[in-house]
Structure 1
Amino acid sequence: MSKYPAPKFSSALLHPKYWGVWFGFGFLFAIVTLLPYKVTYKLGRSLGLLGLKLGKSRAHVARRNLELAFPEMESSEREAIIVENFKNSGLAIFETAMAWVWPDWRVEKHFSYENKQHILDLAEEGRGVLVVCVHALNLELTARAFTSFAPGYGVYRPHNNPAYDFIQHWGRTNNGNQMIDRKDVKGMLRVLRKGERLWYMPDHDYNRNKSVFVPFFAVPDACTTVGSDILISASKCAVVTASGFRTYNNYHLQIDNDISDQFPKKDPVGVATVMNKAVERVILRCIPQWMWLHKRFKTMEDPNVKKGIRYD
């Protein structure tokens, strides 16, 4: 089985230039370990409000994304979503720490599950599963919840800071999940063909290379990866969307039924179109908890049009 090799600890990671990283994560881990969830919740969302005041450019990105995706939505509703989105972004910092250091009993205390038997049944059949998640702000915590009954492989992008990378990889794998390099497509196919689960997030703009332009919400030409077609067509895996949205201090992990029969064969545009519709259904469950701060519509279909022009 192909997996991303764990970064090795060395004395070089203790160099003073990395002390800020070690201190920052240590402080976060101490907060989520020692403080009650209610206190952490308030701290995180207050931090998000501060980010809204200081991050005007990111607020502009979120506003434009919502304008493009939901042109018929009232501006007051969009502004309310932006405020909530920033609050959730602040909380996401603490939720990441929770995902990495909370004991199993504490995670289970805050999670409820829907349709998890479906994942287990597919495993009994020996069928690989492409678990399609979205960039929800509590994604790390959702991935951790899966380890209690169905661990799998996450697509991994190494961090440029080696100390951060060491902590991040440890956090994502110390409870059962494994990582696979985002460029290792053959490894991903091996995972699926062997009947394992691969976490997959096709909801961002990953630039023009290996992408097609298909509808996403109200945008008719959203840059969308063709990776879905490659993985589904070559592995004949099940495709299951999942979400782990939060209502105050409770997280609900919803697992949907297999939709692999909805995808056309050998049709990258058709597959991307179906996948975007599936992703939309997940995001609509809780719009304020998706990552609207990302420039989802930055890449234009016409290569001669400036990238990011929709956000000018």
Structure 2
Amino acid sequence: MKKKYRRQPRNTDYSAYRHPRWWPTWAGIAVMWSVAQLPIRFQWWLGKRIGLLAWRLASRRRHIAEVNIRLCFPEFTRSQQDALVRNTFIANGIGLIELGTAWFRNPKKLTGITEVHGKEHLDNALAKGKGVLLLGGHYSTLDLGGSLITEYIEADVMQRDHNNPLMNAIMTRARERRYGTVLGSRDLRGLLRSLRDNRTVWYATDQDYGRKDIVFAPFFGIPAGTITATSRIAARSHCKVVPFSHFRRDDKPGYDIYFHPPLESFPSGDDLRDATEINQILEREIRRAPDQYLWMHRRFKTRPDIDDPGFYGNK
């Protein structure tokens, strides 16, 4: 049975986690640290094996990925869809291994195999003096990509805290070493303060957060509940919204980070139009490497009409 932890304020003091009930978590962290010290090729090899094991055993997550990919890529044959599901688990297995690299190794060691594209777009946006909302997505390189960009820019990050307080302490302290400020996912005041200080803030909107403050904008042609907060934040702060993405190379160990031109005439005053533009950008970036997206998330869980049948069944 999965361990449940009651949500509580962050406590990043490791001395609070000496009780034996935290020992299994510490053991897992020790394994993550050890793997992070291994050569990157071996890490990728191990991540692939973990991904394939999850593909075989995690039937619920596999079902969600299958549904999402069949909805979003109807032009693919069934065998192509099945191959993409399998490759998605492999990519996210590698991403799981990369968590340790992001948390426990200096990303400077990876700058030699990392290429940054379009950084001038971010520089030009910051020159306006109103801050930048760095519009990201849940790619399999989520933590490592975020860690890598701090080798090239200064940034703050918004974080949804982990349910396990010790894991949350590890994650928060790791991110605090890389980012200027680690903001809570609901810390709107902190976010606006960072933008007023002309900071860059990493921000993602591409998950299903329920019915509150959303519009249904097309995502791969499917109406998807999309939060309107991006438009609200941009309207209040007058910040620039700069899309960015990060991907693992297929042919050899290495990473690519992409910064794109700021959104123009954003916000437009039309929430649906803004959400549609954001989803189109995400879709374009996902198509660069479809397997490196988090298809295991129930992106279409919330339907336009509460009586609409769900896509995911009982799984």
TM-score (norm 1): 0.92
| Aligned match of 1:259 | 263
In structure 2, the residue matched to 1:84 is: 87
1:212 equivalent among 202, 211, 215: 215
What is the correspondence of 1:246-285 to structure 2 with a 5 Å cutoff?
A: 246-248=248-250, 249-261=253-265, 263-285=266-288
Bigger shift: 124-133 or 46-55? 124-133
Matched, 1:123 2:126: yes
Q: Is structure 2 residue 112 aligned with structure 1 residue 109?
A: yes
Q: CA deviation at 1:264?
A: 4.6
Note the alpha carbon deviations across 1:103-151, whole angstroms, 9 max, x for none: 2431212311111133233334423111111100111111111111212
When residues 79 and 177 of structure 1 are mapped into structure 2, their CA distance, relative to the original with a 3 A threshold, is: farther
SS at match of 1:192: helix
Q: Residues 209-233 of structure 1: CA distance to partner in whole angstroms, max 9, x if unpaired?
A: 11111111121x2111111111121
Give per-residue Cα distances to partners, 1:187-222, cap 9 Å, x unaligned: 222222321111111111111111111111121x21
Instruction: Identify which of 227, 239, 248 aligns with 2:229.
Output: 227
Distance in 2, Cα, partners of 1:210 & 1:154: 22
Say which SS state the counterpart of residue 63 (structure 1) adopts.
helix
What residue in structure 1 maps to residue 312 of structure 2? Answer: 311
* Residue 198 of structure 2 is aligned to residue 181 of structure 1: no
> Could you list the runs of 5+ residues in structure 2 that have no partner in the other structure?
1-8
Does the alignment pair 1:14 with 2:18?
yes
Matched, 1:202 2:205: yes
The separation in 1 between residues aligned to 2:41 and 2:185, in whole angstroms, is: 35
The alignment of Structure 1 onto Structure 2 pairs a total of residues equal to 303
1:302 is matched with which residue: 301, 305, 311? 305
1:212-255 Cα shifts (integer Å, max 9, x gaps): 11111121x21111111111211121111111101141100111
**Which runs of 5 or more structure 1 residues have no equivalent in the other structure?**
none
Matches within 5 A, 1:64-83: 64-83=67-86
* Residues in 2 aligned to 1:101 and 1:79: alpha-carbon distance in whole angstroms: 34
Distance 1:145 1:8 in 2: 23
Structure 2 residue identity aligned to 1:311:
Y
Counterpart of 2:312, as a letter, is: Y
Specify the alignment match of 2:100 in structure 1. 97
| 1:238 counterpart = 2:240 | yes
8 Å CA contact 1:7–1:169 kept in 2: the answer is no
C-alpha separation in 2, matches of 1:231 and 1:264: 9
Structure 2 length-normalised TM: 0.91
Q: Which amino acid aligns with 2:22?
A: Y
Partners in 1 of 2:270 and 2:155 — Cα distance?
A: 27
Q: Does 1:160 align with 2:163?
A: yes
> Residue 4 of structure 2 aligns with which residue?
none
How far is the alpha carbon of 1:10 from its aligned partner? Answer: 5.0
* Matched residue SS, 1:241: strand
Matches of 1:266 and 1:191, distance apart in 2: 23
Q: Deviation string for 1:64-85 (max 9, x for gaps)?
A: 0011112222111111111111
What's the offset of the Cα at 1:11? 3.3
Indicate if the aligned counterparts of 2:133 and 2:240 stay in contact, CA closer than 8 A.
Answer: yes
- Contact 2:242 2:259 (C-alpha < 8 Å) held by counterparts: yes
SS in structure 2 opposite 1:245? Answer: strand
Q: Which one-letter code corresponds to 2:174 in the other structure?
A: G
- Worse overlay, 45-54 or 297-306: 297-306
Contact 2:12–2:170 (Cα < 8 Å) also in 1: no
Deviation by residue 1:16-52 (Cα, 9 ceiling, x = unmatched)? 111111111111111111x211111100111110011
SS in structure 2 at match of 1:310: coil
